[in-house]
Structure 1
Amino acid sequence: MPAIGDVARLAGVSKSTASRALTGRGYVAEETRSRVERAASEIGYIASPAAASLVTGRTKNVGVVIPFVNGWFFGEVLEGIERALLAAGYDLTLYNVAPSGPERARVFDFFLARARVDAVIAVGVDLDGGELAKLDRRDTSVVCLGGRAAGVARISVDDRAVGQLAAEHLLHLGHTRIAHLAGAGAAARPLSVQGERRHGFLDALAAAGLAPGGRADVSECAMTMPGGYVAALQLLGRPGPRPTAVVATCDEVAFGILRAAERLGISVPGDLSVIGIDGHEYAEMFGLTTIEQDPADQGRLAVDVVLRLLGEASVPDPLPDSGAPLPTRLVVRASTARPAR
């Protein structure tokens, strides 16, 4: 079986240089790294992860904790994370975490410890002090994407500004009876993604002099297409004046609203304008006005921050400005228009 010494001789470098080139631990010139990798490939040498871990103290494995595995946004983020980790020579271990309860506790008490990860990327998950302390005891770097945790790097769009922009678009068109289908738990968790978007919506309505419960209506639903569909049937089918426009907390909820309106015989955008948030890949097909973000690029950026924390990025400074919000843009399509006279 080929050994690291065989690789070093073939590449014309020392064993320590060959080891650094193949493990990614420490600086090696790019030309030298390529020569070592070609030599390893030529003789069929495969570095032992266990052996490398003993030498470097690293597992080359990043844990990703995520609340949903079947949502479009989270799938896009995961793809971005996976591509970036593979390019950097890292593995990924995925954990689907519940909002609370024993299953969530087991992830932090047992599974992350057993997997021995170098870092954790929390996607749309708020980590409490106890969970952070457990990761800190294992010297595990943490990056939050969308979620929050005290004292760690955070990557996110400005969800409050996004919710405000969505409502302002409808106000600019002349709508005054505007509803918001917020994500479940938005009121109870005001600093969550859905909570911040709800806040932004209320900010815009307050600035326009429209008080919730009067000409504005806020309710909560699951952040899925079925969740939006069921909630919209209740919102649009009840007696009394119905809203002329709805801000959906995400595009999947907006798709559900469009289907509910169709079932109730409500014309979009003639009788009802609908705006979503996220920039789902199906938004153009549905003609949905939305506020776009780039979840795949956010996943890549999260990995970049992890590599900086681990000292393996080409940029020497430890962290980018994690306080700066990521870019978004309003994309107007056929689902929003001026209200009917």
Structure 2
Amino acid sequence: MVASIEDVARKAGVSIATVSRALRGLPDVAATTRDRVLSAASELNYVASPFAARLASGRTATIGLVVPFVNKWFFGEVIDTVESALRKAGFDLLLYNLGDADGRARFFELMPVRKRVDALLVASLVLTDEEFDQLTALDRPVGLLGLPRPGFLSSRIDDDASSRLAVQHLVSLGHRRIGLIGGDADDPMRFTPPLHRRDGYRAALADAGIEWRPELEVLGYFTPEGGAAAAERMLALPDPPTAFFAESDEMAYGALRTFRRSGLRVPEDVAIIGFDDQPLSEFFDLSTVHQPVAEQALDITLRLLATITGSTEADGGDAVLETEVVVRGSTDASRSVI
């Protein structure tokens, strides 16, 4: 039979409150009493309830994570990294998948995390001022993944600058007709990559003196199927692109299938570069922008934990992690491994 705190109190000859204070190391317990309580707990193999300990400390030992989707690679990596870091620190993860615009509105209206978490991490959402006000009203530390905001901890990459590098790589190879396979910048979920990566694409064209052509921007909705359809649509143009920038590797995978079915050689007839550097990208021989997803998620999680526990001085502010263009066979035949 598992010993209870009442058993420890009876054996030590003290009250339950005294046992609780002694086991928590509070200073208002005499040394002899503390020794007696510790001895009784040891003899009975008493293990304190983690839930009770959390209540006594005034903390939940839980961090909330808000994501717009769970069925996309980026967010899967984030969830896995955050959960692992919290588990090692003795914290739990409370996940909120918004899913759609109604789920998002409901979350920020009700704020179901209130009194349930010690901190909140919001991943890759472009937030309104009203939503930021709701987060501030929680009176809990809040971390942002993918979006900076004064007064909040944040960790991210520079999507705009990283996309410029991708397009500049295509320009350096001599391409002037460069298509964009993008996400929906008008998506009501308003997550960050479709906005910033499109901006980087357009800026790189302007830097190179290339006129922007709206027909060379087609939505791929961050899926392989969408990427395949977007590439097919642009290849059907009278003056099709000779190169493509896909805002995610998944969309680039779909475009590669379209090129193959169209009888086009990659990169001799058409080149493509993606974004993310997912594990499969090396097998697809896909040039891409490597972004450190796990490193971003770990950075913001550890800083949130430091803020909560006070174990170390929390490093506040905005952390911007580096990205890198990884050149493979889809843009440079000499780099091909296939």
Distance 1:133 1:56 in 2: 27
* Larger radius of gyration between Structure 1 and Structure 2: 2
Matching of residues 1-341 of structure 1 within 5 Å: 1-3=3-5, 18-19=23-24, 43=45, 45-49=47-51, 51-98=52-99, 100-101=101-102, 103-110=103-110, 112-113=112-113, 116-147=116-147, 151-185=151-185, 192-213=192-213, 217-236=216-235, 238-312=236-310, 314-316=311-313, 318-322=314-318, 324-337=319-332
How far did 1:328 drift?
1.1
Contact 2:60 2:118 in 1 (8 A): yes
Aligned residue in 2 for 1:24: none
From the superposition, tell whether residues 266 and 187 of structure 1 become closer, same or farther in structure 2 (CA, over 3 Å). Answer: farther
Percent identical: 35
From the superposition, tell whether residues 6 and 276 of structure 1 become closer, same or farther in structure 2 (CA, over 3 Å). Answer: farther
Aligned residue in 1 for 2:33: none
How far did 1:62 drift?
1.0
SS at match of 2:176: coil
How far did 1:46 drift?
4.2
Distance 1:263 1:20 in 2: 70
Distance 1:164 1:5 in 2: 67
Q: Which runs of 5+ in 2 are unaligned?
A: 13-18, 27-37, 334-338
Question: How many residue pairs are counted as aligned between the two chains?
Answer: 309
Distance 1:241 1:292 in 2: 30
Q: Which runs of 5+ in 1 are unaligned?
A: 22-35
SS at match of 1:59: coil
SS at match of 1:285: coil
From the superposition, tell whether residues 57 and 253 of structure 1 become closer, same or farther in structure 2 (CA, over 3 Å). Answer: same
Contact 1:127 1:149 in 2 (8 A): no
From the superposition, tell whether residues 172 and 186 of structure 1 become closer, same or farther in structure 2 (CA, over 3 Å). Answer: farther
How far did 1:337 drift?
3.0
| Aligned residue type for 2:121 | I
Distance 1:137 1:239 in 2: 51
Distance 2:116 2:87 in 1: 18
Output the TM-score relative to the length of structure 1.
0.81
Distance 1:294 1:4 in 2: 50
How far did 1:174 drift?
1.1
Contact 2:5 2:46 in 1 (8 A): no
> Which deviations, in whole Å up to 9, do the C-alpha atoms of 1:184-214 show, x marking residues without a partner?
1169999932211111111111111101118
Output the TM-score relative to the length of structure 2.
0.81
Note the aligned Cα RMSD (angstroms). 3.1
How far did 1:300 drift?
1.2
Distance 1:115 1:254 in 2: 43
Contact 2:101 2:189 in 1 (8 A): no
| Aligned residue type for 2:227 | G
Distance 2:113 2:187 in 1: 34
Contact 2:66 2:98 in 1 (8 A): yes
Contact 2:121 2:145 in 1 (8 A): yes
